[in-house]
Amino acid sequence: MSMVNVGRPTRPEGSTTETRPATLTGGRGLLQDEALIFELGGWDKTGVDMPQPALDASDLGDLVRKDPIGLPGLSEPEAMRHYVRLSQKNHAIDLALYPLGSCTMKHNPRLNEKMARLPGFSDVHPLQPQSTVQGAIELMDRLAHWLKTLTGMPAVALSPKAGANGELCGLLAIHAAHDAKGDHARRVVLCPTSAHGTNPATAAFVGYSVREIAQTEDGRVDLKDLEAKLGPDVAAIMVTNPNTCGLFERDIMEISRLAHAAGAYFYCDGANFNAIVGRVRPGDLGVDAMHINLHKTFSTPHGGGGPGAGPVVLSEALAPFAPAPWVVSGSDGYKLVEFEEAEAADAFGRMCAFHGQMGMYVRALSYMMSHGSDGLKQVAEDAVLNANYIKARLQGVMSPAFPEGPCMHEALFDDSWLEGTGVTTLDFAKAMIDEGFHPMTMYFPLVVHGAMLIEPTETESKFELDRFCDALLALAGAAKGGDTERFKGAPFYAPLRRLDETRAARQPKLRWTSEPGANLAAE
C-alpha cells in the first residue's frame, strides 16, 4: 500500500491503479499548494485600517522612509490561511512520533501552555519594579529549588538560554574558579570523540584548546586514554551522560575521581538528563557543572531556533562563581541579586541583560508539579523502555551500533545492514517521509558509520511505537528486496521532492526579490 500523510492510504482499499494525474492547482486533496507570502500579491491594498497621523514626519529628519515598505497587504483571512497551509507542510509532534535522536521531541502538555498564559507570567516586563513581580520571582525560586533537588547540586543559574549557552556558563564558572586560585596554566578541555559538537566549540569560544578522549569499542569513554591525557594543563572534562550513543557511562564515578585528582572540574552535558531524571542525581556522581535543557527534559517546546532555556546547576566548588542575577528571599519578599558585589562578588558576570525566558520557567515548573516525584521517575523509565522496545523490534533487520546490553533513551543503528542494497542512510530517511514519519537523526554521532539515531521519548504509546517500527521494517524489507527506486526517488509525496541539500546549505537564498518594475507600495 502506498502511504502518505502519517500512514493514511492514498487510495481506497482494493484499488490497483497507479495513475496519479498532476492536479491543476498544485494542491493534493485537501492540502493546498501555497506560494511565498510575498508572491501572493496584495501590494495595492492593506488588511489594516490606520488613522492618518496628526503630525507630519518633519522631526524625523533623515530617518523618514524614502522607499516603499515592501510588505504584502493581506487581509486577516488571507494571512491566516497562508500560515495554516504552511503548517500542513510540516511534521509536528502533535501529528506523529518525532524520532530525532538527542533532541527529545516530546509532547508539550497543554496544561503547561495554560499556565504560561496566566496574567502575571505572560505579561511581565524585565524592567518592572521587583515589588510588582513577586509571584514571578517566587516561581523562579521554586523552579531553582526543584532543579537543585533533582540534581543534588547546591546552586543553579537560571539565565542561560539553551544547551550551548549553558555550556558557556559552566565553562566560564570553571575558568573563574581556576583564575581565583591563581591556576592560570589550565587552558585545556578534554572531550570524548562522541561529544555534542557544541562541547568543543564552546570550549574554544571560552579560550580553551580541546583535546579528544578516545572511545572504547562498546561506545564509552576510554579510561586509560582519559588518565593519560589528564595533567596540570587540563581545566575540565566535558562528558555527556547518558552519552550521545545512547549509553550510560558505567565508569562515571571513576571519570569524576580521575578529573578531580588531576585538579580539573567535571562538566556534564545534561542534554540527555531526561533519561535519568528522578532516578540519578548528577551531584552524587561528582559532577561540578551541568546544563539542563528545560525545553527537553521538562517538555517545554523547542525547535526552529527557540524558545529555549538551559539552567546550569553548580557544585559547591563552583557555586560562588555563578553568574548574576539569582533569586534570594527574606522577610521583605523575593529579590534578584543583580550586581557582582557582596554575596555575588565572585560571580563571573552576567550571561544576558535580563534573567531569562519566563514562559519556559512556568512550563517547566508546571511539568514538574503535575508529574510529581514519582511521575518524573517514570519519565526516565518510560523513555528508556520505549527506546529499548524500538531496539528490540528493529535489531533483527537493522544493525544496532552497540548490540550488547540495553540502551538508554535512544537506540543507535549503523548502516552495515544496508551493504549491497544500493541504498544509503540518506535514501532510507527520505523514504520515511513518504511513509509519514520524520526521519531519525542521521550520520550522528560521527563515531558510527551511517548512523541512525532514534529517540522515541516517554510520551509515545506502544501503538505509535509499533506503527513506526512497522513502517521501518517494511522499508528495510523493500531495501533488501532490491526496490532501490523507491529510495533513490524519495520523497515522492512531500510538498517538495529531494533537494540538493549541500547546495542549499552553501548557497542559501535568504532574501526574496521582486520582479523588476513590480509595485511594492501598499496604498
pLDDT at 12 over 80: no
Rounded to an integer, the average pLDDT of 219-246 is 97
**460-464 contacts: CB < 8 A, separation 24 or more?**
460/97, 460/386, 462/389, 464/96, 464/97
Cα–Cα distance for residue pair 370/105, rounded to 1 Å: 19
C-alpha cell, 176: 573563574
Cα–Cα distance for residue pair 56/253, rounded to 1 Å: 70
Instruction: Considering only residues 494 and 391, tell me which one the structure prediction assigns the higher pLDDT.
Output: 391
Question: H or E stretch including 479?
Answer: helix 462-480
Q: Which residue has the cell 547546591?
A: 154
The DSSP output letter for 71 is -
Where is average pLDDT lowest: 124-133, 144-153, 376-385? 124-133
Cα–Cα distance for residue pair 429/486, rounded to 1 Å: 12
Rounded to an integer, the average pLDDT of 5-29 is 56
pLDDT for the residue numbered 124: 93
Dihedral in degrees, nearest 10, Cα atoms 402, 434, 297, 171: 70
CB 220 within 8 A of CB 239: no
pLDDT at 38 over 90: no
> Residue 295 — very low, low, confident or very high, per pLDDT cuts 50/70/90?
confident
State the alpha helices, DSSP H only, in 131-281.
Answer: 134-151, 163-180, 198-206, 223-229, 252-261
C-alpha cell, 225: 586514554
CB 156 within 8 A of CB 410: no
Give the global pTM: 0.88
Cα distances (angstroms) measured from residue 511 to each of 36, 157, 514: 11, 38, 10
Cα–Cα distance for residue pair 417/479, rounded to 1 Å: 10
Digit-coded pLDDT (tens) for 388-439: 999 999 999 999 999 999 999 999 999 999 999 999 999 999 999 999 999 9
Rounded to an integer, the average pLDDT of 295-312 is 79
Q: For the chain, which domains are there?
A: 112-367 (3.40.640.10)
Instruction: Considering only residues 62 and 156, tell me which one the structure prediction assigns the higher pLDDT.
Output: 156
pLDDT at 242 over 70: yes
CB 351 within 8 A of CB 157: yes
Rounded to an integer, the average pLDDT of 201-221 is 96
* Torsion angles phi and psi, residue 72, rounded to 5: -70, 145
Where is average pLDDT lowest: 58-62, 66-70, 203-207, 429-433? 66-70
Cα–Cα distance for residue pair 78/204, rounded to 1 Å: 47
Q: Is residue 274 exposed (0-12), middle (13-18) or buried (19+ Cβ within 10 Å)?
A: buried
pLDDT at 67 over 90: no
CB 370 within 8 A of CB 148: no
* Among 291, 284, 223, residue whose Cα is nearest residue 259: 223
CB 432 within 8 A of CB 99: no
pLDDT at 91 over 70: yes
Digit-coded pLDDT (tens) for 427-483: 999 999 999 999 999 999 999 999 999 999 999 999 999 999 999 999 999 999 999
28-32, 54-58, 96-100, 462-466, range with greatest mean pLDDT: 462-466
pLDDT for the residue numbered 32: 84
Cis peptide before 242 (omega within 30 of 0): yes
Cα–Cα distance for residue pair 506/172, rounded to 1 Å: 32
Mean pLDDT over the full length of the chain = 90
pLDDT at 18 over 60: no
Neighbour tally for 122: CB within 10 Å: 12
> Residue 148 — very low, low, confident or very high, per pLDDT cuts 50/70/90?
very high
C-alpha cell, 209: 584548546
> Residue 217 — very low, low, confident or very high, per pLDDT cuts 50/70/90?
very high
Where is average pLDDT lowest: 36-50, 335-349, 372-386, 402-416? 36-50
CB 159 within 8 A of CB 323: yes
What region, left, alpha or beta, does residue 70 occupy, with left being phi > 0 and alpha being psi -120 to 50 degrees?
left
Cα–Cα distance for residue pair 202/207, rounded to 1 Å: 9
Digit-coded pLDDT (tens) for 350-389: 998 888 789 999 999 999 999 999 999 999 999 999 999 9
Rounded to an integer, the average pLDDT of 139-166 is 95
Cα–Cα distance for residue pair 105/456, rounded to 1 Å: 8
Cα atoms in the 13 Å half-sphere on the side-chain side of 342:
5
pLDDT for the residue numbered 1: 36
CB 359 within 8 A of CB 307: yes
Rounded to an integer, the average pLDDT of 61-69 is 84
Neighbour tally for 98: CB within 10 Å: 23
Q: What percent of the chain has pLDDT over 90?
A: 68
Rounded to an integer, the average pLDDT of 42-64 is 82
Distance, CA of 262 to chain centre: 33
pLDDT for the residue numbered 51: 87
Rounded to an integer, the average pLDDT of 329-338 is 90
Rounded to an integer, the average pLDDT of 485-512 is 89
> 3-state DSSP call for residue 146?
helix
Q: Give strand ranges (E) for 220-367.
A: 234-240, 265-269, 289-291, 312-314, 326-330, 333-337
- Beta-strand pair 234-240/265-269: parallel
Rounded to an integer, the average pLDDT of 247-272 is 97
pLDDT at 158 over 50: yes
pLDDT for the residue numbered 147: 98
